[in-house]
């Protein structure tokens, strides 16, 4: 079945690997990282498993594992660099029942469904691999798609031990996780993220959900997967815009809790954009570590700390909603939103202009927009922002930067500063529309 | 606002009260019971709150509180004997936000909505009382009704601090709890059960859910309310059939975990049927204690222990489904199902015939059916039972009686015994159809 054994062998070659191996401290990052190496089973050899704890990320030729230690469940994020979806040994240890259902969409299915199907079919305990292929798009992250998944679960008589697999980006991950959390009041599910954004953000941490016609992610649950399995080779078929959208979230982690990582991102942004293996692997792991640490500290957003992950998101959600979902990608809207949050933080005296410029520069280098759509005025922003889940008793809490590498969640700001911030961008546009539009990276023809 | 203070004053008058006060041990019942007495606020007096722990139920003139100590949340069940829905002091301590939404149905709304509305409106912190009135019936416990509740939540801009109130029976409670668990990934909700079944079963323990066209309660969550508030005077408008259905679940507790309580039920069944205050109050509390104890031990049915609460339910669900939901009430189907489970337990040598007869007798006295519908054969039963949530990898676990007062959950039975049990009832019908039909209490004209 499944074999992991042997001693750890840390291989760090060349400049990039050296950089990756260097310990880079951060208060917030407390997630542990275990190294695990697979060995061919010699016939009849006893099955063994050993894990070696390493304090810093390391590069290896095969597999790397990071653990998320959330209060409700502890689970691994397993990274593979080579095509691995067909590898039953990767999946078998995480499946308890004899039936599985792969949920994916019409774009991802032709690319990867057959491989995952092959991998799962070969797991000794699995005798049924069912599938549910949804249309592609944020506009299908709805109650109807949830119903479609559950209809398949019922028709195929899945039971409490069955496992759902989410094969795709954040939309498929959020939908599948939600379905898994409510079918029979909760069955196991495994995230197999195939977008950079899903790897570094949506697949980890247990937020699941669907959209309501009046607001995004308004319906959902906190429900951790049983494992997150990353085959990084799947990222190669991604549209460059989608890669940039993922990088926005990677940069976010530097901003909210890891200044050193932000500095590293500044030096390596072009390597990330081109998916250079060492750089993207390191960026994914460090991002997942950041996310895991935040989730471990505040899984259900009860202390409010977890909300720091939403830097740029309140502005971003307003942009996504006002322009019509799908026009701006989530990561793009977050990028512009982070610039707005940074500008507001500057106006409140938390950070200086220089930091705002650095943020704009790195996002621009990642081909991300750094301005809100010129069509949005104060009223539009405030209307959409009022729908935010962080609103309590009519008061909107915002995620702001206290300094580079530290975000805070606060309702303690003058409303006028928020208004001024939004108006500032309007003015920038009015003064120099062409210069402004140049900063809306995704609108530029490729 | 809200005042509870003073020393405990246990009043036990007359024979019935004395019976109620007598400690009656049971291994499984570990829930605690606090006694709380309300006192008129003298103007300017400091607000105090004190609870006095009592080991056994006690009768008082005003309010009684039982705590459910579930791993995910500890919350009170508050019992009032007098009309109390208009009493803001009852609700105010359990509401954190400034907006509330009452979910109810077209039958309950004309009876009690105005009172609860009045009570909630007078809570000092509440400035908005919204309402959502659904059609009445098990057939509306669907995804569409869930959507209807969430639409109101969105349209009325409820936020994370808003509280949902479930005013009604188990259908409204399950639906509202599910909506509360997924709206914004979870907001507070309070159960205000108005059927006996809801008081003693569905309102306590945190199982929420909706039906799927192919199966009952197939979609849902584990989500505890913030409080359960029982105004027992609302039970007076219930149809006698509904009261009997509730008594089925009360008797169930005796059977599964509390032999003494079963004995008490035998002596008091006619008092329960007539809603005699002392008897029904004691029965409700002891039932809630049993349920609270099971839920505290196994909130999410992970050890399997919680499944003992499903005695009679696997047979019962098959009856409900095969006859068309609503033809048999849930409690009625459970009654017949408990007789079937008892008969099967007897065939397995766990209990003797005498116990089966006692169970039939008490259920009959409570005007409950003690036979499955004659139309259902082995195949129908097995087909519907295969949809049970307790099926794992194709194996159906059943709740059986090891002895009176102790249920077990097991897959370790000969399938033939199950088949024989079902056939036994078929034969009973074939031999003496009239005698058989006489045991189907709810089919008899009133
Ligand atoms: N749960 C969370 O914590 C969380 C966090 C962030 C974002 N989200 C959600 O995630 C969603 C966005 O995720 P996303 O950016 O992955 O969007 P997505 O799921 O829509 O994927 C983007 C596009 O890439 C396609 N695609 C996916 N994998 C591919 C591959 N390997 N090759 C080629 N094409 C591929 C998809 O079909 C889609 O067209 C939003 O709904 C957002 O709300 C959730
Ligand atoms: N969540 C759980 O743990 C759990 C446990 C047991 C049952 N249930 C569920 O509960 C439901 C059954 O509950 P129920 O028996 O309360 O059914 P119900 O909610 O349908 O109520 C029964 C009938 O009584 C009416 N009614 C309610 N209160 C009334 C009052 N005070 N006066 C007059 N009429 C009133 C209702 O409108 C309805 O017509 C089922 O859906 C079952 O699956 C859930």
Write the residue in B98, B154, B209 that is nearest to A214 by C-beta: B154
Report which of B227, B417, B265 is spatially closest to residue B341, judged by C-alpha positions.
B417
Task: Catalytic residue, from A80, A86, A94, A207: name it.
Answer: A207
**Cα A283 to middle of ligand 1, angstroms:** 18
B48-52, B171-175, B385-389: which has the highest mean pLDDT?
B171-175
Whether the CB-CB separation of B211 and B175 falls below 8 Å is answered with no
Q: What span, in angstroms and rounded, lies between the C-alpha atoms of B348 and B402? A: 9
**Cα A236 to middle of ligand 1, angstroms:** 14
Ligand 2-lining residues (CB < 6 angstroms): B 105, 107-108, 111, 136, 138, 141, 168-172, 174, 194-195, 197-198, 201-202, 205, 207, 217, 234, 237-238, 242, 245, 330
Decide: A167 in ligand 1 pocket, CB within 6 A. no
Q: Residue A277: CB partners within 8 Å, gap ≥ 6?
A: A81, A232
The two structure tokens encoding residue B264: 């008490």
**Residues of B engaging A, defined by a Cβ cutoff of 8 Å:** 97-98, 143, 147, 150-151, 154-155, 157, 159-161, 178, 181-186, 207, 209, 212-215, 218-222, 300, 386-387, 389, 391-394
HSE-CB at B4 with a 13 A cutoff on CA atoms is 19
Query: Roughly what angle, to the nearest 10 degrees, separates helices A143-155 and A170-182?
Result: 60
Report which of B48, B49, B136, B129 is spatially closest to residue B86, judged by C-alpha positions.
B129
Question: Over its length of 446 residues, how does chain A's per-residue pLDDT go in tens digits?
Answer: 222 222 232 233 333 332 332 233 333 333 333 333 333 333 333 333 333 333 334 444 479 999 999 999 999 999 999 999 999 999 999 999 999 999 999 999 999 999 999 999 999 999 999 999 999 999 999 999 999 999 999 999 999 999 999 999 999 999 999 999 999 999 999 999 999 999 999 999 999 999 999 888 999 999 999 999 999 999 999 999 999 999 999 999 999 999 999 999 999 999 999 999 999 999 999 999 999 999 999 999 888 899 999 999 999 999 998 998 789 999 999 999 999 999 999 999 999 999 999 999 999 999 999 999 999 999 999 999 987 777 777 789 999 999 999 999 999 999 999 999 999 999 999 999 999 999 998 776 55
**Cα B142 to middle of ligand 2, angstroms:** 14
Residues in chain A: 446
Is there a contact between B219 and A150 if contact means CB atoms under 8 Å apart?
yes
Q: What span, in angstroms and rounded, lies between the C-alpha atoms of B403 and B259? A: 9
Q: List CB contacts (< 8 A) between A220 and chain B.
A: 182, 185
pLDDT at B118 over 70: yes
Report which of B161, B192, B160 is spatially closest to residue B177, judged by C-alpha positions.
B192
**Cα A137 to middle of ligand 1, angstroms:** 8
Is there a contact between A389 and B98 if contact means CB atoms under 8 Å apart?
no
Q: Catalogue the active-site residues of B.
A: 185, 207, 249, 291, 301, 306, 310, 313, 317, 330
What CA–CA distances, in Å, run from A201 to A178, A216, A287, B383?
A: 16, 16, 8, 43
ipTM passes above 0.90: no
Q: What span, in angstroms and rounded, lies between the C-alpha atoms of A276 and B108? A: 64
Decide: A211 in ligand 1 pocket, CB within 6 A. no
Decide: A108 in ligand 1 pocket, CB within 6 A. yes
Is there a contact between B389 and A160 if contact means CB atoms under 8 Å apart?
yes
Whether the CB-CB separation of B80 and B62 falls below 8 Å is answered with yes
Q: Residue B283: CB partners within 8 Å, gap ≥ 6?
A: B200, B247, B250, B265, B268, B272
Catalytic residue status for A212: no
Q: In Å, how far is B351's CA from the nearest CA of chain A?
A: 31
Whether the CB-CB separation of B140 and B107 falls below 8 Å is answered with no
The more confidently predicted of residues B280 and B21 is: B280
**Cα B327 to middle of ligand 2, angstroms:** 14
Q: Hey, which residues does A409 pair with through a beta bridge?
A: A399
The two structure tokens encoding residue A221: 């649950």
Q: What span, in angstroms and rounded, lies between the C-alpha atoms of B181 and B33? A: 27
Is there a contact between A220 and B185 if contact means CB atoms under 8 Å apart?
yes
Report which of B63, B129, B68 is spatially closest to residue B95, judged by C-alpha positions.
B129
Q: Terminal CA-to-CA distance of chain B, rounded, Å?
A: 46
* Nearest listed ligand to the Cα of residue A137: 1
pLDDT at B340 over 60: yes
Q: Using alpha carbons only, what angle is made at residue A177 by residues A173 and A181, rounded to the nearest 5 degrees?
A: 175
Is there a contact between B97 and A181 if contact means CB atoms under 8 Å apart?
no
Scanning every residue of chain A, which has its alpha carbon at the shortest distance from the alpha carbon of B149?
A: A219
User: Which is the closest atom of ligand 1 to the Cα of A172?
Assistant: 19
Query: Roughly what angle, to the nearest 10 degrees, separates helices A240-257 and A353-365?
Result: 150
Catalytic residue status for A55: no
Q: In Å, how far is B248's CA from the nearest CA of chain A?
A: 25
- Which segments of A194-347 are extended strands (E)? 207-212, 215-222, 227-231
Q: What span, in angstroms and rounded, lies between the C-alpha atoms of B78 and B40? A: 18
**Cα A199 to middle of ligand 1, angstroms:** 9
Task: Give the helix/strand (H/E) hosting A62.
Answer: none
pLDDT at B28 over 70: no
Whether the CB-CB separation of B70 and B206 falls below 8 Å is answered with yes
Q: Hey, which residues does B103 pair with through a beta bridge?
A: B132, B166
The more confidently predicted of residues B9 and B388 is: B388
Decide: A176 in ligand 1 pocket, CB within 6 A. no
Is there a contact between B218 and A155 if contact means CB atoms under 8 Å apart?
no
Q: What is the reported pLDDT for A392? A: 77
The CA dihedral of B299, B304, B306, B307, to the nearest 10 degrees, is 140
Report which of A210, A22, A1, A212 is spatially closest to residue A103, judged by C-alpha positions.
A210
Q: Hey, which residues does A33 pair with through a beta bridge?
A: A54, A66
Report DSSP state, residue B4: B
Alpha helices in B298-414 (DSSP H): 313-323, 330-347, 353-365, 378-385
Report DSSP state, residue A380: H
Task: Give the helix/strand (H/E) hosting A242.
Answer: helix A240-257
Q: Residue B46: CB partners within 8 Å, gap ≥ 6?
A: none
Q: What span, in angstroms and rounded, lies between the C-alpha atoms of A196 and A177? A: 18
Phi, then psi, of B350 in degrees rounded to 5: -80, -50
Q: What is the reported pLDDT for B241? A: 96
Decide: A78 in ligand 1 pocket, CB within 6 A. no
CB atoms within 10 A of CB B34: 15
Q: Terminal CA-to-CA distance of chain A, rounded, Å?
A: 47
Pairing of strands A395-396, A391-392: antiparallel
Q: What span, in angstroms and rounded, lies between the C-alpha atoms of A71 and B317? A: 35
Q: What span, in angstroms and rounded, lies between the C-alpha atoms of A349 and A143? A: 43
- Which segments of A29-157 are extended strands (E)? 33-35, 52-54, 63-70, 73-80, 99-105, 128-134
Residues in chain B: 446
The two structure tokens encoding residue A410: 């606060």
Q: Residue A126: CB partners within 8 Å, gap ≥ 6?
A: A92, A95, A98, A99, A100, A120
Catalytic residue status for A86: no
Q: In Å, how far is B177's CA from the nearest CA of chain A?
A: 12
The helix/strand/coil state of A406 is strand
Q: What is the reported pLDDT for A60? A: 44
The two structure tokens encoding residue B124: 């000092």
pLDDT at B59 over 80: no
Q: Residue A45: CB partners within 8 Å, gap ≥ 6?
A: none
Q: What span, in angstroms and rounded, lies between the C-alpha atoms of A54 and A60? A: 12
Write the residue in A159, A186, A389 that is nearest to B391 by C-beta: A159
Q: What span, in angstroms and rounded, lies between the C-alpha atoms of B356 and B342? A: 6
Is there a contact between B221 and A219 if contact means CB atoms under 8 Å apart?
no
Is there a contact between B222 and A147 if contact means CB atoms under 8 Å apart?
no
Report which of B14, B11, B16, B58 is spatially closest to residue B267, judged by C-alpha positions.
B16
User: Measuring from atom 30 of ligand 1, which residue has the nearest CA?
Assistant: A238
* Nearest listed ligand to the Cα of residue B137: 2
Catalytic residue status for A390: no
Is there a contact between B215 and A157 if contact means CB atoms under 8 Å apart?
no
CB atoms within 10 A of CB A24: 17
Q: What span, in angstroms and rounded, lies between the C-alpha atoms of A108 and A444? A: 26
Q: What span, in angstroms and rounded, lies between the C-alpha atoms of B240 and B332? A: 12
Scanning every residue of chain B, which has its alpha carbon at the shortest distance from the alpha carbon of A223?
A: B185
Cα A415 vs. chain centroid, distance in angstroms? Answer: 30
Confidence of residue B393 (pLDDT cuts 50, 70, 90): confident
Is there a contact between B147 and A147 if contact means CB atoms under 8 Å apart?
no
Scanning every residue of chain A, which has its alpha carbon at the shortest distance from the alpha carbon of B144?
A: A143
Whether the CB-CB separation of A380 and A322 falls below 8 Å is answered with yes
Q: Hey, which residues does B391 pair with through a beta bridge?
A: B396
Q: Residue B156: CB partners within 8 Å, gap ≥ 6?
A: B99, B101, B128, B130
Write the residue in B147, B182, B221 that is nearest to A185 by C-beta: B221
Q: What is the reported pLDDT for B445? A: 57
Q: What span, in angstroms and rounded, lies between the C-alpha atoms of A136 and A131? A: 15
Q: For chain B, how long is the longest CA-to-CA vector? A: 75
User: Measuring from atom 2 of ligand 2, which residue has the nearest CA?
Assistant: B202
Report which of B66, B25, B104, B94 is spatially closest to residue B295, judged by C-alpha positions.
B66
Q: Residue A258: CB partners within 8 Å, gap ≥ 6?
A: A24, A26, A28, A29, A286, A290, A405
Q: Hey, which residues does A131 pair with through a beta bridge?
A: A102
Decide: A238 in ligand 1 pocket, CB within 6 A. yes
Q: What is the reported pLDDT for A445? A: 57
Write the residue in A186, A222, A393 that is nearest to B98 by C-beta: A393
Catalytic residue status for A310: yes
Report which of A322, A316, A429 is spatially closest to residue A363, judged by C-alpha positions.
A316
pLDDT tens digits for B178-212? 999 999 999 999 999 999 999 999 999 999 999 99
Whether the CB-CB separation of A184 and A169 falls below 8 Å is answered with no
Q: What is the reported pLDDT for A391? A: 78
**Cα A198 to middle of ligand 1, angstroms:** 6
Whether the CB-CB separation of B338 and B255 falls below 8 Å is answered with yes
Whether the CB-CB separation of B166 and B107 falls below 8 Å is answered with no
pTM listed for this prediction = 0.87
In order of their start, the domains of chain B are: 1-59 (no CATH), 62-238 (3.40.50.1970), 297-439 (1.20.1090.10)
Region label for A260, one of left (φ > 0), alpha (ψ between -120 and 50) or beta (otherwise)? alpha
């Amino acid at each position: 079945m499944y074999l992991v054994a042997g001693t750890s062998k840390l291989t760090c070659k060349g400049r990039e690997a050296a950089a990756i191996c260097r310990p880079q401290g951060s208060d917030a990052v407390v997630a542990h990282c275990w190294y695990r190496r697979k060995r061919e089973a010699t016939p009849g050899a006893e099955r063994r498993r050993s894990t070696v704890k390493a304090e810093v990320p390391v590069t290896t030729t095969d597999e790397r594992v990071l653990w998320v230690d959330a209060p409700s469940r502890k689970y691994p994020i397993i990274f593979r660099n080579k095509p691995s979806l067909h590898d039953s040994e990767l999946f078998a240890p995480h499946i308890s029942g004899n039936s599985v259902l792969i949920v994916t969409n019409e774009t991802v299915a032709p690319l990867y469904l057959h491989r995952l199907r092959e991998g799962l079919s070969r797991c000794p305990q699995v005798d049924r691999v069912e599938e549910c292929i949804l249309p592609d798009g944020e506009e299908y992250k709805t109650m109807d798609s949830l119903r479609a998944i559950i209809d398949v679960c019922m028709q195929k008589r899945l039971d409490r031990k069955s496992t759902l697999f989410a094969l795709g980006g954040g939309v498929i991950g959020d939908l599948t996780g939600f379905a898994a959390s409510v079918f029979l009041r909760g069955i196991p599910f495994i995230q197999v993220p195939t977008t950079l954004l899903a790897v570094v953000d949506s697949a980890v941490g247990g937020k699941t959900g669907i959209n309501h016609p009046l607001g995004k992610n308004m319906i959902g649950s906190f429900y951790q997967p049983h494992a997150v399995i990353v085959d990084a080779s799947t990222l190669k078929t991604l549209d460059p815009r989608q890669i940039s959208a993922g990088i926005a979230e990677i940069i976010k982690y530097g901003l909210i809790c890891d200044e050193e990582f932000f500095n590293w991102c500044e030096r390596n942004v072009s390597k990330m954009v081109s998916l250079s293996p060492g750089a993207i692997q390191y960026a994914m792991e460090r991002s997942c570590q950041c996310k895991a640490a935040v989730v471990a500290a505040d899984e259900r957003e009860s202390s409010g700390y977890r909300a720091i992950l939403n830097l740029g998101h309140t502005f971003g959600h307003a942009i996504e909603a006002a322009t019509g979902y799908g026009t701006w990608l989530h990561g793009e809207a977050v990028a512009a939103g982070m610039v707005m949050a940074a500008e507001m933080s500057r106006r409140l005296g938390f950070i200086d202009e220089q930091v705002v410029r650095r943020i704009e520069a790195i996002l621009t280098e990642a081909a991300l927009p750094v301005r809100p759509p010129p069509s949005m005025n104060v009223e539009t922003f405030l209307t959409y922002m009022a729908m935010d889940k962080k609103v309590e008793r009519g008061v909107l809490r915002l995620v702001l930067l206290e300094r580079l590498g530290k975000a805070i969640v606060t309702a303690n700001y003058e409303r006028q500063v928020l208004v001024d911030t939004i108006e500032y961008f309007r003015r920038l546009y009015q003064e120099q529309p062409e210069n402004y539009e140049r900063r809306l990276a995704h609108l530029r023809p490729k």
